[in-house]
Amino acid sequence: MASVRSDAARNRARILDAARECAITDLKLNDVARRAGLGVGTVYRHFSNIEALVAALAEGAVEKLRDLARTAEREPDPERALAALVRGGLSLQLADAGLQTVLLADASEIPELAGVRAEVMGAAERVLARARDAGVVREDLTLERLLHLVCGIEYAARLGAPGEGELYLDIALAGLYAGRRSPATGTHIAGW
């Protein structure tokens, strides 16, 4: 019986290794099976859908983000706490493209990481609320908006020249701070 478990563990490792060779946006279970040298059924026994595979790939990054969020909660300065969380979160997203998928997914889509994801979101919400309450950031900044902004910065950083991610992040953080509103605040953009 132990050989079945070791075979299963070996197959799971082969699947994850093969998936890491693919771009997260191009993952297909059939392609992963072919790269791993396994049958499609074997892949589906380990991962019922792409979301489950992405969750397995991003598990380590989600746990690091949870630790980062906990550390940010303990930071006494609300501005530094939020900046550390956003900077660290962006850094993790740039290192692991699957993290964004996990953060933006509905919790029911990735049940394997629901608990740790809930911890991350709860801690991030508390850090953000503390920054709002202290008047550090705009009152209309919600966690959902912040997540979308960080994902946008990640996208821009991937497209831009090396090292520009820090510049994009600095620009975005300056825009989040209370009292530093854009002169165009209130301007309506057609289609938005």
Q: Indicate which CATH number applies to the domain containing 147.
A: 1.10.357.10
Q: What is the mean pLDDT of residues 142-159?
A: 91
CB-based burial, 135-150: b 16+ in 10 Å, e otherwise: ebbbeebeeeebbebb
pLDDT at 59: 87
pLDDT at 187: 47
Residues 31 and 69 reside in one and the same domain:
no
- What predicted TM-score, i.e. pTM, was given to this entire model? 0.78
Position 25 in a domain: yes
pLDDT at 180: 53
Residues 113 and 19 reside in one and the same domain:
no
Distance CA 174, CA 83 (A): 10
Residues 34 and 85 reside in one and the same domain:
no
The DSSP letter of residue 122 is: H
- Which domain, by its residues, includes 40? 1-48
Residues 26 and 110 reside in one and the same domain:
no
Position 70 in a domain: yes
Residues 34 and 77 reside in one and the same domain:
no
Q: Which of 25-29, 146-150, 174-178, 188-192 has the lowest mean pLDDT?
A: 188-192
Q: How many residues does the chain have?
A: 192
Q: What is the mean pLDDT of residues 64-87?
A: 95
pLDDT at 25: 75
Could you tell me the pLDDT band of residue 4, with boundaries at 50, 70 and 90?
A: low
Residues 166 and 85 reside in one and the same domain:
yes
Tokens of 149: 């902004």
Helical ranges in the chain per DSSP H: 2-20, 29-36, 40-46, 50-74, 78-95, 98-104, 114-133, 143-159, 164-176
Q: Tell me how far CA of residue 102 lies from CA of 15, 69, 141, 166, in angstroms.
A: 19, 16, 21, 23
Number of domains in the chain: 2
Position 1 in a domain: yes
Residues 28 and 68 reside in one and the same domain:
no
* CATH code for position 23: 1.10.10
CB 94 within 8 A of CB 162: no
Distance CA 151, CA 93 (A): 8
Residue predicted with more confidence, 35 or 97: 35
pLDDT at 94: 87
Residues 34 and 70 reside in one and the same domain:
no
Distance CA 92, CA 58 (A): 10
